[in-house]
Amino acid sequence: MAKRRLQLNLRGFQVFEAVARHLSVTQAAEELGITQSAVSHQLRNLTDYLGEELFERQGRSIALTRAGARLAEALDGAFDLIEQSTASTIGLNRRMIRVALYSSFAAGWMIPVLPEFTARHPDIDLRLVMISDPPEISDRVADVFITSEPTRRGYWSLRLFPEYLVPVAASTTCRDGFDRPVPLITSETDPVMVGADWEAFAALNDLDLPTIRDGAWHCCTHYLLALEMARAGMGAALVPDFMAFPALARSELRRLPGAALPTGQTYDLQIKYERRKEPDIQRLVAWIKDVVRRNTMSATHVTA
C-alpha cells in the first residue's frame, strides 16, 4: 500500500525557518529573494494552518513563541538532513569536510600543520570556514567546529587545550624586557576594557602596569592583528601561545618575561552527535588529537 503524506505548504515552512533563524522578516526576505510582504503572507498562512502563534512582538523586534521555538528546532534538523542528502546525491560533499574555526586558530595552529593531514589523506577535501563570536553552529555552515563556545545541544565535544596568552615583541625591540617602559598592544577595544589583558598579566606577574607601559595603547580587535603589530615593531602584544610559537622558533619575535596568562577560554572541537562516527570525520578527529598530544609533549606552551 502506497504511503500517503499530508499536503504541506513546504514553502511556508521554508520561510518560517529563515525568519526564525534571523529573527528578522527583512533579512529572511533578502535571503530567500522575495518581498517582505510575501514573507508575511506565508507566515500568516502557516499560523492559520497550525493554529499556533509562532512569533511575538518585543518592542521593535520579534521573538519565537514556545510553539515557534519547537517548530524551529525541528525544522533546523529536517533541513540539515535534506541538505546533507541532496549534497550526497549530487556529490557535493563526497570526501569533503568543512571545518569552521577562528582566524587566529586557523593561522596560528591549523594551517601550519595542515600539510601533514593532506599528505596522509589526499583523497579528503578539507575546507576551512572562518567564524566569529558567536558562531552559527549548524550543518549549513560546517561539518566540524573548533570554538570556545559552550557545547550546543545535539553536539559531541572534545576539549583540545586551554588558552594562554604570552607577551611577545619583535626581535629588534623591547630588548630589555620590562626593565624600561614599552608600547603595549591590546586586543581589548571596548573603551571600558582597553588594556584589561595587560592588567591581568601585570597582576599575575607582580608588575606595575603604569611603570611598564610607554605611551598610548595600541588597540586591535583580533589576536592575529596584535601578532602582526608586534612583528612590525609597534610594541609588546599578548597573544595565544600556539600563535606565538612558530614566530618565536623562527626568531621573528622574542618571548618577554612573565608567566603565561590563562584566559579561562578553551578550544573545543564540536561535531553533530550523529555524525561523529563518519569515517572521514573520525580520521580528522584522530589526526587533531594526535597533533595536540605531540604538541603537548613538545611543550608547545611557551614558557618564560
Give domain limits for the chain: 10-90, 96-162+265-297, 163-263
Whether residue 91 has pLDDT greater than 60: no
Band of pLDDT at residue 145, cut at 50, 70 and 90: very high
As given in the structure block, the three cell numbers for residue 109 are 595552529
What pLDDT, on the 0 to 100 scale, is given for residue 81? 74
In this model, does residue 191 exceed pLDDT 80? no
Confidence at residue 133, expressed as pLDDT on a 0 to 100 scale: 73
Strand 218-219 relative to strand 184-186, pairing: parallel
pLDDT at 304 over 60: no
CATH 3.40.190.10 fits 96-162+265-297, yes or no: yes
Over the range 70-80, which residues count as b (16 or more CB within 10 Å of their CB) and which as e? ebbeebbeebe
- Residue type, position 295, single letter: N
Q: Which of 142, 144, 154, 234 is nearest to 186 (CA)?
A: 234
Share of the chain above pLDDT 70, in %: 91
Query: CATH number of the domain at 163-263, please?
Result: 3.40.190.10
Alpha-carbon distance 121 to 175, whole Å?
Answer: 44
Q: Give the separation between CA 161 and CA 56, rounded to whole angstroms.
A: 41
Task: Assess whether pLDDT exceeds 60 at residue 247.
Answer: yes
pLDDT band at 273 (very low <50, low <70, confident <90, very high): confident
Percent of the chain clearing pLDDT 90 (strictly above): 52
| Cis-peptide into 134, omega within 30 deg | yes
End-to-end CA distance of the chain: 74
Tens of pLDDT along 2-53?
A: 666 667 778 888 999 999 988 999 988 888 888 999 999 999 999 988 889 9
Q: Which residues contact 125 (CB under 8 A, 6 or more apart)?
A: 95, 96, 97
Q: Is the pTM of this model over 0.85?
A: no
96-162+265-297 against 163-263: fold identical: yes
pLDDT band at 93, cuts 50/70/90?
A: very low
Which three cell numbers mark 207? 608588575
Residue 227 contacts residue 239 (beta carbons within 8 Å): yes
Architecture of the 10-90 domain: Orthogonal Bundle (1.10)
Predicted confidence band of residue 154 (pLDDT cuts 50, 70, 90):
confident
